[in-house]
Amino acid sequence: MALFHSTRRWFGVAAVFSLITLTPLAVILSAFLDPSPDIWAHLSEFVLPRLLWNTFVLMLGVSIGGLLLAVPLAWLIAMYDFPGRRFFSWALMLPLAMPAYVMAFTQIGLFDFTGPIQTWMREVWGTSAAMPPIRSTGGVILVMSLALYPYIYLLARDAFASMGRRALEAGQSLGLSRRQAFFRVALPMARPWIVGGVSLALMETLADFGTVSIFNYDAFTTAIYKAWFGLFSLSSASQLASLLVLLVFVLVWYELRARGRRAYTVTGRGSIQAKRDRLPTLSGLVATAWASVVLGLAFVIPFGQLLWWCRQAIETDLDARYISFVWYSLLLAGLAAVAVAVVALLISYAQRRDARQRTRFAVRLATLGYAVPGTVLAVGVFIPIAWLDNVLLNLFSSYLPEGQTAIFKGTLLVMILAYIARFLAVGFQSVDAAMQRITRSQEETARVLGESGWGLLRRLYLPLLQGGLFTALLMVFVDVMKEMPITLMTRPFGWDTLAVRVFEMTSEGEWERAALPSVAIVLVGLLPVILLAQRRHA
């Protein structure tokens, strides 16, 4: 009976924290189940056709662009040795440190009509007509492909490293050339990994707000923001958000199916450490050049442009305001990281104490928010908070100061709840991976010594989980530093962060002034990338 009560208690812990994610999602989906005819008539006639077409084109373009960039690089890094391979094996992950919206305005600044590239072309050749316009559908697809290809690259590289040589040997035993073996054996075997990487990139594409807003490209995230803050129609924003949630759920389902098919390609660690073939001199130089071009376009050139602009902006733009920008950014990121780490620890421990299916399902629901765009979560959190405010204001109006219109709206509580819902999966993965390394024998030894319940968590698990908790804190801290839509849409009045500063400056076309906060965000973003590179270094 005591065990039953204990497991039920831990299921309750997981269920309560799952509500942080489920409540905003339920609010958004309820808007879809209870449609407003007038709003839907307007949306279906003037908004949805354009949004659906733009979304389809963007997802298709990013899928193709990401595959063309990532898969050849992953194959070369995993299977061959060429000049600079060891450097590129981790350096090709550096674009993960640069938010897509930062890359967007740097690429526009470089390749726009008034940028240095077209200016140089006009000075040398008298015209820059040969340069395709960067402010176009192709431009936003290119930028997002460069920003998101590392998701595909990492998974494809792991897949090729684990079974690529055996796939080649199997193909050659069937009389196939190396090229034929790649396309007919290795690539199909790696397909689940590659599909998983593409799905992750597409979820980031759907969630993106900053990049599409900088390019003035109509997407669901920008339409939700305009409906809320431009038209002051929270109902229209929720209706659009409900459709975006359905699109995201389709991608999550597809990614889970792909993940479930990965097991058949695993061949053990021996193949990962197999000797790589040395490319001939000319082929090796071509491989080095290709990796250099991708890395240059995706990180080196944009970051160099940021530093150049930053040097100019420091003299005119660096003032006392930046103390508050940095302080608010660090404070929000720190509070969110601690909150997420604590919740991740509790639900991971709850899953450890109660291994029943319903507890695992509750944990899965709690970590679903990472697949949901920040604009959606901002709307989903704000609506129930606004309802609760109205209820409390009506009940306690006689006790509140005259003219008070909010209690919880516009507070840090709303932001932290939205951050937990959005980034809990990031913290949970790190903590739960460390939790799995704690053996049952260690726990049994602690129990023999008289530890149980919360004492077991405090005396045994916390010391052994320090590495996982630190990784969770770091990853969430950096994600919140880069996060734009939740911060922009739910922050208290006057709480401008570095990301909000970037949005304000890019909205006005002030690329140079946006460089200063962007450099700070990128430098912070390098921390988890370096950590990831150290763990995956080949």
* Four-residue CA torsion sign, 354, 355, 356, 360: positive
239 by DSSP, 3-state: which? helix
Cβ neighbors of 263 (< 8 A, separation 6 or more) are: none
Mind spelling out the 3-state secondary structure of 208-226?
CCHHHHHCCCCCHHHHHHH
Residue 415 · residue 499 · CB < 8 Å: no
Q: And the tokens for 422?
A: 């959005």
- How would DSSP label each residue in 455-508? HHIIIIIHHHTHHHHHHHHHHHHHHHHH--HHHHHHPPTT---HHHHHHHHHHT
pTM above 0.85, yes or no: no
pLDDT in tens, the chain (538 residues): 344 445 677 888 888 999 988 888 888 888 767 667 777 777 777 788 898 999 999 999 999 999 999 999 999 998 889 999 989 988 998 998 889 999 999 999 888 888 888 888 888 888 877 788 888 999 999 999 999 999 899 888 888 887 756 666 676 677 666 677 777 777 787 887 888 888 888 888 988 888 999 999 998 888 888 888 776 677 778 878 888 888 887 877 776 666 555 444 444 444 444 577 788 889 889 999 999 999 999 999 999 999 999 887 787 777 778 888 889 999 999 999 999 999 998 998 888 878 788 888 888 888 888 778 888 888 888 888 888 888 888 887 777 777 677 778 878 888 999 999 999 988 888 888 788 777 677 666 666 666 656 667 767 777 777 878 888 888 888 889 888 888 888 888 888 899 999 998 888 888 888 898 999 899 888 887 777 676 655 4
User: Can you tell me the distance from the alpha carbon of 252 to that of 243, in angstroms, rounded to the nearest whole number?
Assistant: 14
User: Can you tell me the distance from the alpha carbon of 275 to that of 284, in angstroms, rounded to the nearest whole number?
Assistant: 16
pLDDT at site 4: 41
Cβ neighbors of 536 (< 8 A, separation 6 or more) are: 90, 93, 154, 158
- HSE-up of residue 33 (Cα within 13 Å, Cβ side): 6
- How would DSSP label each residue in 240-309? HHHHHHHHHHHHHHHHHHHHHTGGGG---HHHHTPPPEEPPHHHHHHHHHHHHHHHIIIIIHHHHHHHHH
Q: And the tokens for 115?
A: 């940028």
User: Can you tell me the distance from the alpha carbon of 177 to that of 433, in angstroms, rounded to the nearest whole number?
Assistant: 40
- pLDDT tens, 47-94? 888 989 999 999 999 999 999 999 999 999 988 899 999 899 889 989
Q: Other CB atoms closer than 10 Å to residue 62's CB: what's the count? A: 26
Q: Other CB atoms closer than 10 Å to residue 172's CB: what's the count? A: 14
Residue 71 · residue 194 · CB < 8 Å: yes
Helix (H) or strand (E) holding 167: helix 137-173
- pLDDT tens, 313-333? 787 777 778 888 889 999 999
Task: Tell me how many degrees the CA angle 511-515-516 measures, rounded to the nearest 5.
Answer: 140
pLDDT at site 155: 83
Helix (H) or strand (E) holding 139: helix 137-173
Mind spelling out the 3-state secondary structure of 419-446?
HHHHHHHHHHHHHHHHHHCCCHHHHHHH
Q: Among the residues of 296-356, which ranges form H helices? A: 301-317, 321-353
88 by DSSP, 3-state: which? helix
User: Can you tell me the distance from the alpha carbon of 438 to that of 436, in angstroms, rounded to the nearest whole number?
Assistant: 5
Backbone angles phi, psi at 469, to 5 degrees: -65, -40
Query: Quick one: residue 143, left, alpha or beta (phi over 0 = left, psi -120 to 50 = alpha)?
Result: alpha
User: Can you tell me the distance from the alpha carbon of 329 to that of 480, in angstroms, rounded to the nearest whole number?
Assistant: 8
